[in-house]
């Protein structure tokens, strides 16, 4: 069975962005060492415009062949006139307000999102599903998340958008790996305890 992985950038105090969801404060930590790690291990998590700018659009997908993102995350791409932000992946956008996809490569999921994720997880394949955010989407899918890959940046935001916007419920995960970089970023991987 394929896995749903929430691959997310957070501050030390657990916020994925400021109260509006803006996470540009994390970009200054994407140095040569960290970028080499991302392009070697998770190249598909770099959006298509970034891949083109970095000259890494040719890299094959290592972990994921599918991406699910929320409407707010997709709106960031649309604001840049990018209708297919992850052209190298199968793309799904969870939205009840977008009636028709602006791009044939992007499927809008307006119905039962958890059911759609279970369908995707049941498909054959070695690569998983990348949960691209944001907090509302992660909250809706918290019971479907099989892995967390948390890129913790050495910043305290004090307030902002949490990793999961959801009702209180305990979910237990087991640490699998941790990597520390010279810029202060720590990448930790956890798997759901079943």
pLDDT digits (tens, 9 = 90+) for 5-54: 999 999 999 999 998 888 999 999 999 999 999 999 999 999 999 999 99
Question: Looking at the whole model, is its pTM more than 0.85?
Answer: yes
Is the Cα dihedral 108, 113, 118, 119 positive or negative? negative
**For 188, left (φ over 0), alpha (ψ -120 to 50), or beta?**
beta
Domain boundaries, the chain: 14-184
What's phi and psi for 177, nearest 5 deg?
-160, 160
Check whether 167 has a pLDDT greater than 90: no
Is the Cα dihedral 53, 83, 115, 162 positive or negative? positive
Closest to 10 (Cα-Cα) out of 163, 140, 168, 192 = 163
DSSP, residue by residue, 76-111: HHHHTT-S-TTTTSEEEEE-SS--S-SSTTEEEE-S
pLDDT band at 170 (very low <50, low <70, confident <90, very high): confident
Q: For the ranges 50-64, 146-160, 161-175, which has the lowest average pLDDT?
A: 161-175
Check whether 126 has a pLDDT greater than 90: yes
Q: What is the mean pLDDT of the chain?
A: 95
pLDDT band at 66 (very low <50, low <70, confident <90, very high): very high
23 neighbors 17 (Cβ within 8 angstroms): yes
Q: What superfamily in CATH does domain 14-184 come from?
A: Dihydrofolate Reductase, subunit A (3.40.430.10)
């Amino acid at each position: 069975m394929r896995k749903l992985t929430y691959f997310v950038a957070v501050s030390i105090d657990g916020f994925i962005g400021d109260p509006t969801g803006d996470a540009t404060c994390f970009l200054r930590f994407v140095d040569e060492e960290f970028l080499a790690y991302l392009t070697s291990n998770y190249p598909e998590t770099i959006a298509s415009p970034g891949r083109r700018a970095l000259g890494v659009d040719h890299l094959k997908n290592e972990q994921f062949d599918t991406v699910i993102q929320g409407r707010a995350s997709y709106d960031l791409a649309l604001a840049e006139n990018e209708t297919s932000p992850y052209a190298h992946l199968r793309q799904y956008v969870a939205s009840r307000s977008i009636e028709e996809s602006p791009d044939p490569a992007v499927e809008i999921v307006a119905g039962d999102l958890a059911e759609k994720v279970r369908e995707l997880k049941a498909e054959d394949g070695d690569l998983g599903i990348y949960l691209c955010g944001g907090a509302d989407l992660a909250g809706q899918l918290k019971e479907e998340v099989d892995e967390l890959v948390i890129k913790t940046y050495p910043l305290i935001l004090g307030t902002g958008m949490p990793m999961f916007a959801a009702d209180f419920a305990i979910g237990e995960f087991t640490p699998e790996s941790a990597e520390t970089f010279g810029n202060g970023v720590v990448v930790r991987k956890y798997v759901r305890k079943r």
